[in-house]
Copies of this chain bind each other. A is one copy, B any other.
Amino acid sequence: MAAYDSTDRAILDRLQSDGRIANVDLAEAVALSPSACLRRVRALEQDGLIAGYRAELDRARLGLDLTVFIELRVGEHSRETAARIEAVLTGIPEIVACHVVSGSADFLVEAAVANLAAYERLLIDQILAIPAIVDARSTFAIRTVKTRGPLPLAQLR
């Protein structure tokens, strides 16, 4: 399957903003019968277009007040070190996102921690403990204006 129409778009849009909407309501919103709607949703899931469903938690209320972006530089580049670093970074719970990036840094990671002490432990004990990493530059989120908004489906043809 590879073709998606405006109804699929509408379904995705809706599910992005309310991932737990009842299928009955979703169907009504996109002007389909519940059964047809459900079949489309299942197909979108099967196709991998819908990667999953997540409850979004409030970081501040959880006590994970501090969001930090950390740019990492790697000393020697090789396929093996890259893979190993990725594996380690991925396994650190505090790291909620991680990208290989262009520019002066090699990795850009986003971490959620409780406070500066936790941040220090994360950086010193976990990240800088990775041998190949030679430099880290941290940027603190003072305030989050917008978090993981819906993807801009309207921008697609």
Contact = CB atoms under 8 A, between A and B. Distances in A.
A19 B55 contact: yes
A56 B52 contact: yes
Contacts of A155: 64, 93-94, 113-114, 118
A154 interface: yes
The SS class assigned to the A binding surface is mixed
Given A54-B19, A61-B49, A139-B103, A97 B146 contact: yes
A63 interface: yes
Contacts of A124: none
Nearest to A57: B151
Contact of A86 (B57, B86, B139, B145): B145
